[in-house]
Amino acid sequence: MNCLQTWPEPIVRVQSLAESGIRKLPNRYIKPHNERPQLTLLNPQDDINVPVISLQDLFSGNESLREATLASISSACREWGFFQVVNHGVDPELMKRARDTWREFFEQPLEEKQRYANSPDTYEGYGSRLGVEKAALLDWSDYFFLHYMPPSLRKQEKWPSIPNSCRNLITEYGNEVVRLCGTLMKILSINLGLEEDQLQNAFGGENNDIGACLRVNFYPKCPQPDLTLGLSSHSDPGGITVLLPDENVPGLQVRKGNNWITVKPAPNSFIVNIGDQIQVLSNAIYKSVEHRVIANSVKGRVSLALFYNPKSDFVIEPMKQLITKDRPALYPAMTFDEYRLYVRTKGPCGKSQLESLKSLR
């Protein structure tokens, strides 16, 4: 673990670069041609969007409406690995407060944010890079990362104390979104043909001992958005991600075949996606799909990603019921702690990790 104790070079806050008024992007942020976002070709298929699914009918008591909702989620998981949920039971007021509060945090003076500067051993706190490879190309974003579950990993003193509503808000928001994740886990479990609680038990056992982390991303406005990315292509290493997007500034793109589709968030929606651990547990019936974030020359963007993860020392492997003679187990058994060391060392790199594991078998 020694290699993960410190950053390989001094950290530069992207927000400080953006606010310094530079007109040209420093070389560290310029991506190779094949990774650049081709902004002029944005939305060649403007009518395509990640499916929007209302969860209202799950709780209506009407069995056929409930089945229809399950079926839409099932096809979204298979065809996109992504969907948006509305009528999900989380108060839109709380969602707005969460966005506003975190925006306020990033608007604090640099010295205030630096009190929370993170290091790569836990990533907790204020950060500006993922991965510890010296001289790696960097993404055009800063972030704040914190552990929310299990409660034993919650360190309130590491959470922002300014704005002073922040700590309470994190708890209120975390509770609501973790509850939503519990509902989604049941739906996925049923849709995979498993018992309702099976997927959840595979994450945390009977005690519901799951992990959850919050990463608040801040993508400052960028002088040359066509040369860089706010967040490079990656799949999420964990279980399920529930993202609160910035309603005013688009940026998230999802891979669909050879195209990148820009997500157009529905009002008061969360964007849900499948992570690598569900790909492993489902034996690749569900895929964790690559996504990335483009930068924007006009406005900064804030997003809150809650990662719902297996208990970190739990062994994750394809579920027995989903292994057949025709479809043998595609991935080796591994704990989430072992798994996430890779992305913490290398930073975001598409789907290279899961692909490399496949060849181990």
| Residue ranges in contact with Ni ion by CB under 5 A | 236
Task: Give yes or no for residue 291 binding ligand OGA (CB under 6 A).
Answer: yes
Stretch that binds ligand OGA, among 28-36, 73-81, 243-251, 327-335 (CB under 6 A): 243-251
Contacts for 71 with CB less than 8 Å, ≥ 6 apart: none
Residue 58 vs 184, nearer CB to ligand OGA: 184
Residues 191, 269, 303, 353: which binds ligand OGA (CB under 6 A)?
303
Residue 31 vs 291, nearer CB to ligand OGA: 291
Residues 90, 166, 214, 243: which binds ligand OGA (CB under 6 A)?
243
Residue 69 vs 309, nearer CB to Ni ion: 309
State the amino acid at position 62 in one-letter form: N
Residue found by looking up tokens 């958005």 in the block: 225
* Shortest distance, position 82 Cβ to ligand OGA, whole Å: 10
Cα 229–chain centre separation: 16
**Strands of the chain, DSSP E:** 52-54, 82-86, 125-127, 142-149, 211-219, 231-234, 240-244, 252-256, 259-262, 270-274, 291-293, 301-309, 315-316, 334-335
Task: Give yes or no for residue 53 binding ligand OGA (CB under 6 A).
Answer: no
* Residue 88 CA: distances (Å) to CA of 177, 182, 271, 335: 10, 12, 11, 30
Q: Residue 322 CB: number of other CB atoms within 10 A?
A: 17
Stretch that binds ligand OGA, among 61-69, 73-81, 206-214, 245-253 (CB under 6 A): 245-253
Task: Give yes or no for residue 293 binding ligand OGA (CB under 6 A).
Answer: yes
Task: Give yes or no for residue 13 binding ligand OGA (CB under 6 A).
Answer: no
Q: Which does 251 bind (CB under 5 to 8 A by kind): Ni ion, ligand OGA, none?
A: ligand OGA
* Shortest distance, position 353 Cβ to ligand OGA, whole Å: 14
Residues 15, 200, 217, 279: which binds ligand OGA (CB under 6 A)?
217
Task: Give yes or no for residue 340 binding ligand OGA (CB under 6 A).
Answer: no
Residue 202 vs 293, nearer CB to ligand OGA: 293
* Shortest distance, position 348 Cβ to ligand OGA, whole Å: 8
Q: For residues 266 and 279, what is the distance between their CA atoms, to the nearest angstrom?
A: 26
In DSSP terms, which residues pair with 147 in a beta bridge?
Answer: 213
* Shortest distance, position 181 Cβ to Ni ion, whole Å: 15
What is the b/e burial string over 53-76, where b = at least 16 CB atoms within 10 angstroms of the residue's CB? bebebbeeeeeeeeeebbebbbeb
* Residue 254 CA: distances (Å) to CA of 19, 88, 203, 233, 257: 29, 22, 25, 9, 10
Which residues would be at the binding site for ligand OGA (CB under 6 A)? 215, 217, 231, 236, 243, 245, 251-252, 291, 293, 303, 305
